[in-house]
Amino acid sequence: MAIQSSIPFQLALISGPEWNQTRLPVTRFYDQARLDGVIEPAVVIKENTELAISFTSANPQARLYMDGLETLPQERLAEDSSGRSYLSPAPLPIPLFSYIDYPLIPGYYWLEVVLSGQHYFTPMLVEPKRLTRAQWEIMRKELNSELYKLALDLIRQSTGVGEDRQGALPLELLHRFIVIRRHFPSVMAALNDLLSRANYQVRKTYRLLPLYRVREFDDRAARSQLARPDRGDRLASPVPEVNYDLPENRWVKHILRVVSKYLTDFCAAIATHSTHIRHQVDALADTIELPGVETGRREKQKLLAVLQDYEETAVKMAKAIELLRRAPWYTQVGNTLPTHYPQALASDARYNALYGLYRELRADGVEVALDEQYTYQWKRTDQLYELWCFIKLYHALVDPSIGFQPKSGWLFDNPLASSTMLIPVFEAGAGIILERETDNVTLHLVYDEELPRQSQDTDLERLPLFTRGINNRPDGRLDVYYNSYYAGSIIFEFKYRPLHGFWDTSAIINALRPKAMNQLISYASDIRSPHLHTPYLDQRWRHAISPVHEVWAVFPGTANGGSYNELHEDHGVRLISLAPDEKLGSFVAALANAINTILAKAK
């Protein structure tokens, strides 16, 4: 790859707002692009900054190509014959992105200019503003990973083994739980019917029969007699014969072999895990007098009941398969699998039921797919950070040290109906309900929902809060319920900016505090609930007491690194860091302490 010389055009990026612009000339070009990112970028810009481009040339046919141009208004663009968007030379700078647009996400880009058959390439780097490039990559990967873990939680919840969050039962086994349970009624009906009514064909075979038993004599029998006249009183005669060796029955034989092995492995794994759980139950019996032990023992006994139910289902199906294998027609069917799919696998409900079970059990597992809207939601790092924080918040709540289990809401209201699970996009008001049965506590974790401005618009179970202030749309909200009554909330704001960008301790005493500070303080002081501690707290007191335990301002951290956790008690605001390359332990501990404090007030 060579550096180009004698560049017949002028290219510069203009970064920043109109009143404070930085012009970044681009003068180094190559004759080809390298996608491995090892070439030093010709220009480096920060994300989320206004960006314009100055592209001039004496040749009006010059074209500038760049990833992301297709998101611009069409009037700024042209398209070539292959549908690629490009910019033509212009005397004035062309606005590319403002803060209201979806800016270029952090990463390595190539700009390409095509002129007179020549191609000129130059690399550009977009850097995150508040994170390092490594942190940004970790955050993106972790968000994908956490969404996948949410899918596993849905599978556990769907199978009734939500308590098994440590992965003693592998995903493949949990997936088979769902597949077998869903197909069980139709498969059992199919096996019972096939036992006596499998598909067959009637074909002619020729046998030597005594003359008195001959009922039919055709041309083939006549030719046989002429060829062998010495048979005496025996004659080759056509005899009808039932033939079960059909392609669909060979498929049934193959499917039953595969499914039978899965069921055997399935039952063995369930039995092993059930034995492990029984040992835990027996061990808990020795410490039954300790607080919470009896509740934990009941949970494990409930898990044992779920496992037993699935084992019984699998055993019933295995016995039905074994019974079918003893059918008189079964041994007449060949073992070689046909190379084609017979029509009966699709058109006959019995064969289709077996094939549907086989196909899903043979799948690699559950495929987790993201809603395509995530592509747009992840364009801006501030939105990416907001989603990442919310998912991390959920992950903290289901951490064994806090011990909540998801029950419903958002993803968990969508039953797993196939081997593909679509993770729906986070929309305003999306929420997850979590429970901890050991002490009868329920949490409502809500994303980006507007608070009403008067008490009559609240709802005890869905939206117990209203605000008397200006700000009414926190990034996240955690409502805590104890014994089915509302105990209090934690409000979350996810701030993709440095601490000084939204909080200035010296400005607290000023009449004109920064807007971001006022927002946090308002959430702590202006929110009320007509449902707080109902029916144990008099209505007159509920309007005088804030249901918000704390407002958490979550941000990536300080320039020096490390975790940050500071509570401003006078205003009920906690400043706490959460960065992609930090462990979650201190954040989980702080969250557990906040929830326990709310519960202590309620008891």
Which helix (H) or strand (E) segment holds residue 315: the answer is helix 293-325
340 within domain boundaries: yes
| CA dist., res. 182 & res. 239, Å (int) | 45
Same domain flag for 151 and 175: no
Edge-first strand order for the sheet with 107-115 is: 43-46, 118-127, 107-115, 63-66
Same domain flag for 121 and 143: no
Q: Which of 34-43, 156-165, 460-469 has the lowest mean pLDDT?
A: 156-165
556 within domain boundaries: yes
DSSP state letter for 396: H
Same domain flag for 325 and 386: no
| CA dist., res. 166 & res. 156, Å (int) | 11
Report whether 148 contacts 139 (CB < 8 A): no
Best CA proximity match to 546, nearest among 536, 563, 532: 532
- Reply yes or no on whether the pLDDT at 206 is more than 70: no
| CA dist., res. 95 & res. 384, Å (int) | 24
Give the pLDDT band (50/70/90) at residue 513: confident
295 within domain boundaries: yes
1 within domain boundaries: no
Name residues whose C-beta falls within 8 Å of residue 585's C-beta, 6 or more positions apart in sequence: none
pLDDT at residue 89 in the model: 92
Q: Which domain holds residue 105?
A: 10-127
pLDDT tens per residue across span 421-439: 666 667 778 889 999 878 8
* Between 9 and 68, the higher pLDDT residue: 9
Average model confidence (pLDDT) across the chain:
79
DSSP state letter for 459: B
Q: Which of 121-130, 220-229, 303-312, 573-582 has the lowest mean pLDDT?
A: 220-229
pLDDT tens per residue across span 261-299: 888 888 888 888 788 878 877 777 666 655 555 666 776
Same domain flag for 403 and 475: yes
Q: Of 361, 393, 417, which marks where a domain is finished?
A: 361
| CA dist., res. 417 & res. 448, Å (int) | 28
Give the torsion sign (CA, 350, 352, 355, 359): negative
- Reply yes or no on whether the pLDDT at 27 is more than 50: yes
Same domain flag for 273 and 356: yes
| DSSP for 563-584, written as a single string | --EEEETTTTEEEEE--TTS-S
Give the pLDDT band (50/70/90) at residue 589: very high
Residue 33's CB is within 10 A of a number of other CB atoms, namely 15
- Reply yes or no on whether the pLDDT at 60 is more than 70: yes
| CA dist., res. 40 & res. 60, Å (int) | 30
Best CA proximity match to 559, nearest among 516, 473, 497: 497
pLDDT at residue 494 in the model: 93
- Our count of domains for the chain comes to 4
3 within domain boundaries: no
| CA dist., res. 212 & res. 204, Å (int) | 19
pLDDT at residue 587 in the model: 93
Token pair of 163 as six digits: 């308590």
* Collapsed DSSP state (helix, strand, coil) of residue 58: coil
Q: Of 301, 333, 361, which marks where a domain is finished?
A: 361
pLDDT at residue 167 in the model: 46
Residue keyed to tokens 């939680």: 153
Residue keyed to tokens 């605000």: 467
Q: What is the 3-state secondary structure (H, E, C) of 282-294?
A: HHHHCCCCCCCHH
Which helix (H) or strand (E) segment holds residue 79: the answer is strand 78-79
Same domain flag for 146 and 262: no
- Reply yes or no on whether the pLDDT at 231 is more than 90: no
Best CA proximity match to 528, nearest among 483, 581, 465: 465
In degrees, rounded to 5, the angle at the alpha carbon of residue 421 between the alpha carbons of residues 376 and 494 is: 45
Give the pLDDT band (50/70/90) at residue 574: very high
Same domain flag for 211 and 252: no
> Dihedral angle at the C-alpha atoms of 348, 350, 356, 358, nearest 10 degrees?
-120
Best CA proximity match to 366, nearest among 178, 160, 165: 178
- Reply yes or no on whether the pLDDT at 464 is more than 90: yes
pLDDT at residue 204 in the model: 65
Q: Distance from CA of residue 510 to its chain's centroid?
A: 45
Name residues whose C-beta falls within 8 Å of residue 220's C-beta, 6 or more positions apart in sequence: 206, 236, 238
166 within domain boundaries: no
- Reply yes or no on whether the pLDDT at 207 is more than 70: no
pLDDT tens per residue across span 128-170: 777 777 777 777 777 777 776 676 666 666 555 555 544 455 6
Best CA proximity match to 519, nearest among 589, 453, 571: 571
Same domain flag for 319 and 184: yes
pLDDT tens per residue across span 353-378: 999 888 877 765 555 566 665 554 45
Same domain flag for 434 and 571: yes
Report whether 202 contacts 241 (CB < 8 A): yes
| CA dist., res. 587 & res. 581, Å (int) | 13
| CA dist., res. 543 & res. 466, Å (int) | 11
Same domain flag for 574 and 459: yes
pLDDT at residue 567 in the model: 94
Same domain flag for 565 and 583: yes
pLDDT at residue 302 in the model: 75
pLDDT at residue 288 in the model: 60
- Reply yes or no on whether the pLDDT at 575 is more than 90: yes
- Reply yes or no on whether the pLDDT at 100 is more than 80: no
Report whether 529 contacts 464 (CB < 8 A): yes
Strands (E) across 218-307 are located at: 234-243
CA distances from 36 to 174, 305, 531, 537 (A): 39, 54, 58, 64
164 within domain boundaries: no
| CA dist., res. 277 & res. 413, Å (int) | 28
Buried residues in 47-70 as b, exposed as e (16+ CB within 10 A)? bbbbbbbbbebeeeebbbbbebbe
Same domain flag for 31 and 52: yes
134 within domain boundaries: no
Token pair of 281 as six digits: 């139950």
Q: In this prediction, what percent of the chain has a pLDDT beyond 70?
A: 75
pLDDT at residue 377 in the model: 45
Token pair of 70 as six digits: 């297709």
pLDDT tens per residue across span 471-502: 899 999 999 999 889 999 999 999 888 888 78
Residue keyed to tokens 């403002």: 98
* Between 192 and 17, the higher pLDDT residue: 192
- Reply yes or no on whether the pLDDT at 521 is more than 90: yes
Q: How far apart are the first and last CA of the chain?
A: 72
Q: In this prediction, what percent of the chain has a pLDDT beyond 90?
A: 21
Token pair of 184 as six digits: 């069980």
Q: Which of 20-24, 29-33, 231-235 has the lowest mean pLDDT?
A: 231-235
Which helix (H) or strand (E) segment holds residue 155: the answer is helix 133-159
CA distances from 91 to 60, 76, 96 (A): 11, 13, 15
* Collapsed DSSP state (helix, strand, coil) of residue 85: strand
pLDDT at residue 446 in the model: 94
Buried residues in 75-103 as b, exposed as e (16+ CB within 10 A)? eebeeeeeeebbbebeeebbebbeeebeb
Q: Of 215, 243, 271, which marks where a domain is finished?
A: 243
